[in-house]
Amino acid sequence: MMQRLCWLALLWLPLTALAVVDGHKYPFDDAEKAERFRQLAEDLRCPKCQNQNLADSNAPVAVDLRDKVYELLQEDQSDEQIVDYLVARYGDFVRYNPPFRLDTLLLWIGPLLAMLFGIGLLVLIRRGQNAAPKPLTDAEKAQLEQLKKANRS
């Protein structure tokens, strides 16, 4: 199976195994909690899988974590508490939405920096074009004349 998964990944295909998760195992009395459960299961990563969230994975550890999330939700824990609980045991790897910290600073502001850098470059380019075009050298002038002549004929 592992080797088969490798092959699959060697293709240009999204690598995600199949699962239809038995969501009927997780009844909720209120819709708001059910929605939070769905969101958490989507934003938490199955630690053993290639690239799958808890909602879509049937790996045993994913089932355990899902059950745990359900249990913690029933205990009225907040989303942060639940995420912290799992991170304390499995590390930051389990959260698809990385925390905003010193080591993720560049990740979070990188695109913004790129945007600012790009805007700066645009300004620079436009300023550059305001300089008057250099006069043609004699050789270029001659070439231009020749071209004009060729064009006319």
**Nearest to residue 71, comparing CAs of 43, 33, 44, 42?**
33
Nearer CB in complex with other proteins: 76/132 = 132
Least Å distance between CB 111 and other proteins? Answer: 4
Q: How far is residue 124 from each of residues 13, 34, 56, 64, 110, measured CA to CA in Å? A: 41, 52, 48, 55, 21
* Residues in the chain, overall count: 153
**Nearest-angstrom CA–CA distance, 131 and 149:** 30
Tell me whether residue 78 or residue 110 sits nearer to other proteins (CB atom): 110
Pick 74 or 122: Cβ nearer other proteins: 122
CB of 152 to other proteins, least distance (A): 12
Phi-psi region at 91: left, alpha or beta (left = phi > 0; alpha = psi -120 to 50) = left
Kindly state the smallest distance separating residue 147's Cβ from other proteins, in Å: 6
> Minimum CB separation from other proteins for residue 76, in Å?
20
Within 10 A of 91 (CB to CB), how many other CB atoms are there?
10
Of the two residues 76 and 111, which places its CB atom closer to other proteins in the complex? 111
